[in-house]
Amino acid sequence: MNDSDIALRLSAWWEAHARDLPWRFGRATPWGVLVSEVMSQQTQMSRVVPYWQEWMNRWPDARALAAAPKAEVITAWGRLGYPRRALRLQECARVVSEEYSDELPHTYDALIALPGIGDYTASAVLSFAFGQRVAVIDTNIRRVLSRVFTGVESRGGSASPAERALANRMLPESVKRSVTWNQSVMELGAVICTAKSPLCDICPIASGCAFLKADRPGLGERRTRPRQRFQGTDRQVRGLVLAALRELPAHETLARKNVASIWKDQVQLDACIASLDDDGLVEMLPDGSLRLPH
């Protein structure tokens, strides 16, 4: 199977099996695509769907999000995790609405200059929303390309120059095919060619895969960062504080005694509240009570 056979097989597989996510197949605006990418950064796409739908119904464009009260934005982010992303997205919305008349810019340099937008998101928006020919490089794409074309696992950390070169080399010349290529390689990595248990038996490009041919060397041995225990972490405590504030009626504050009952270790609790305050996610009032920012 040569490189263009692999692209053709993947494209046919994409047509038949792509998950029907609401921001795909031209049904979302470029802004909607960007929101889906930001939400999916540290959260599984299937979990993102209900949040994305509610978010887009409420704030369909950058201008609407820019004008929303911060407390509502933090509350709507719900359990997506890493809530700073919500505030960065709102900052991004302000810039798009004020400096770009509510339309996302069409160039890599302008996109990457927006708050909270990195290389991956800028490339994903250019490819998926604007149909431009650009190599999108995320963990899934790196893993699939490395396995299929070099026969080895991609290493963790950020993309190496060799991985970038490979992604650029394999990107089809045709603009339209390049978009399908990005989407299909990424989807294959998400649902078939997963990190720990790739489903080679049902993989559409198994016969062209160098990794399978080499008997999947080192599968599962790749050193990944040990998964951080969640119980007892600052992330958990920060989440509990935000959850308590989200439950309050709008504009209400959480009294100091109720704040103190959120977590037993008061030193850790105070440190977490201070970090939430630093991140602009909560406001501490002089009497020790808390509220979501106005």
Q: Which active-site residues does the annotation give? A: 37
The distance of closest approach from Cβ of residue 67 to ligand SF4 in the complex, given in angstroms and rounded to an integer, is 45
The residue among 153, 174, 294, 157 whose CA lies nearest residue 221 is 153
Query: For tokens 């056979």, what's the residue?
Result: 5
Chain centroid to Cα 237, Å, comes to 23
First-to-final CA distance of the chain: 59
Amino acid at 155: R
- How far apart are CB 227 and ligand SF4 at their closest, in Å? 22
Residue 151: how many other CB atoms lie within 10 Å? 16
Q: Looking at beta carbons only, is 84 or 216 nearer to ligand SF4?
A: 216
Nearer to ligand SF4, 62 or 167 (CB): 167
**187 Cβ contact list (under 8 Å, min separation 6):** 14, 17, 18, 19
Residues 245 and 255: their CA atoms lie apart, in Å, by: 11
CB of 25 to ligand SF4, least distance (A): 24
Helix (H, G, I), strand (E, B) or coil at 200: helix
Q: Which is nearer to ligand SF4, 2 or 101 (CB)?
A: 2
Q: How far is the CB of 49 from ligand SF4 (least distance, A)?
A: 25
Query: CA-CA distance, 175 to 27, in Å (whole number)?
Result: 20
Judged by the rule CB under 6 A, the positions of this chain that interact with ligand SF4 are 144, 147-148, 192-193, 198-200, 203, 205-206, 209, 211-212
Three-state DSSP class for 149?
helix
Residue 193 CB, nearest distance to ligand SF4 (Å)? 3
Nearer to ligand SF4, 1 or 243 (CB): 1
Type of residue numbered 289: S
Do residues 82 and 116 touch, judged by C-beta distance below 8 A? no
Contact 209, 199 (CB under 8 A): no
Nearer to ligand SF4, 200 or 244 (CB): 200
